[in-house]
Amino acid sequence: MDGWLVLVVGLPSHPSSRRVRAWRRLRALGAVALKNSVYVLPFTPESYEQLQWLTQEVQRDGGEATLLKVDRIETMDRAALVRLFNDARDLDYRRLGEQYRKLLQALDGKPGRRGAPRRPGELARLGRELESLRAIDFFGAPGGAEVLRLREAVESRLSPAAARAGGAAPRLGDLRGRRWVTRPRPHVDRIGSAWLVKRFVDPDAEFVFAPEDALPAGAVPFDVLGAELGHHGDDCTFETLVQRAGLRDRRIARLAEIVHEADLRDGKYDRPEARGIDLAIRGLLAVTTDDHDVLAAGLRLFDGLYASVGGDR
């Protein structure tokens, strides 16, 4: 993104509906406030066009609006501006995530999925909100990964057959020297699962990242919606891999509880370590743009966890 758009806007106090309308437009565009009545956006042709229209609208309403395109903002460096945008988007993601969690709780708390016919419509609404939010997430706020995971958890509960779409369960003992693929921006479950594969299933594994609609042929998918090696029932992908591999290691069992709680946050396990692991990986994602670098650091983190959780093998 080349430069910034700065809008200085002022509207009469009455009627207040005009100020509210302008604020909502700015919020929908993803603008953040530098100070009262001063808003900023990364420059894109689309944002530039939208702010030009908003400037004309404010002026027609009897207000004042000045639109500037600048290379930099002298009182704030780029990193501080990016944090400003990411903080705003993370707040939006938290609010949306709470709605997904309520939907998950409703699904898990209703024997026989009572009321489930209404849920797909609710899921579609949340999905539209998520896509709108991602469209204004200019710098990849860390909170987006968790909301995507929550969406997938809801989808897997509403359509359990989709989780079996990959066919028969792969024989983990036959998977050696393979490419393993998962979604970009790996978080707790994906990193933990990659660690489990590397240490206990396929020491020569190569990991790649790809969107769900562009998985490379021949690679083994994991923690991807519809993959056999993914979420099943109440289990996260790490737990699925533990079961498929037949691991009977007490430390692995404890790690599985930590990953489950960090990933699903459903209170099934009392694992206070989960919050720390979640924060540590969010920090890695916030300061590291290359997913392979995130994974490498995450693998070392899980090596340390495995060594520290205790328990006889």
Q: What are the structural domain ranges in the chain?
A: 4-70, 78-158, 172-308
Read off the pLDDT band of 168 (50, 70, 90).
very low
Whole-angstrom distance, CA of residue 182 vs CA of residue 236: 14
Q: What is the DSSP letter of 311?
A: -
Whole-angstrom distance, CA of residue 191 vs CA of residue 253: 16
Residue 121 has pLDDT above 90, yes or no: no
Measured CA distances, 7 to 25, 105, 299 (Å)? 12, 42, 44
Read off the pLDDT band of 159 (50, 70, 90).
low
Q: Closest Cα to residue 265, out of 143, 101, 123, 112?
A: 101
Read off the pLDDT band of 312 (50, 70, 90).
very low
Measured CA distances, 177 to 156, 174, 206, 220, 246 (Å)? 29, 10, 7, 11, 20
Mean pLDDT rounded to a whole number for the chain: 85
Per residue in 256-272, pLDDT tens? 999 999 988 878 899 99
Residue 116 has pLDDT above 50, yes or no: no
- Residue pair 306/273 in contact by the 8 Å Cβ criterion: no
Whole-angstrom distance, CA of residue 262 vs CA of residue 272: 9
The neighbouring-strand residues paired with 153 are none
Q: What is the DSSP letter of 137?
A: -
- From 40-44, 74-78, 113-117, the region with the lowest mean pLDDT: 113-117
pTM: 0.54
Residue 112 has pLDDT above 80, yes or no: no
Write out the two tokens for 269.
Answer: 């396990």
Whole-angstrom distance, CA of residue 158 vs CA of residue 144: 21
Other beta carbons within 10 angstroms of residue 178's beta carbon come to 17
Residue 115 has pLDDT above 50, yes or no: no
Residue 84 has pLDDT above 70, yes or no: yes
Characterise 82 by phi-psi region: left (phi > 0), alpha (psi -120 to 50), beta (else). alpha
Whole-angstrom distance, CA of residue 259 vs CA of residue 190: 10
Q: What is the DSSP letter of 209?
A: E
Per residue in 202-255, pLDDT tens? 999 999 999 887 889 889 999 987 788 988 877 899 999 999 888 888 999 999
Residue 152 has pLDDT above 50, yes or no: yes
pLDDT at position 173 is 65
Summarize the confidence of residues 279-290 as an average pLDDT: 92
Characterise 65 by phi-psi region: left (phi > 0), alpha (psi -120 to 50), beta (else). beta
- From 20-34, 73-87, 141-155, 280-294, the region with the lowest mean pLDDT: 141-155
Residue 170 has pLDDT above 70, yes or no: no
**Architecture label for domain 4-70:** 2-Layer Sandwich (3.30)
pLDDT at position 122 is 80
Long-range Cβ contact pairs of 237-243 (< 8 A, separation 24 or more): 237/189, 237/190, 237/193, 238/189, 238/192, 238/193, 238/196, 238/263, 241/172, 241/193, 241/196, 241/197, 241/201, 242/196
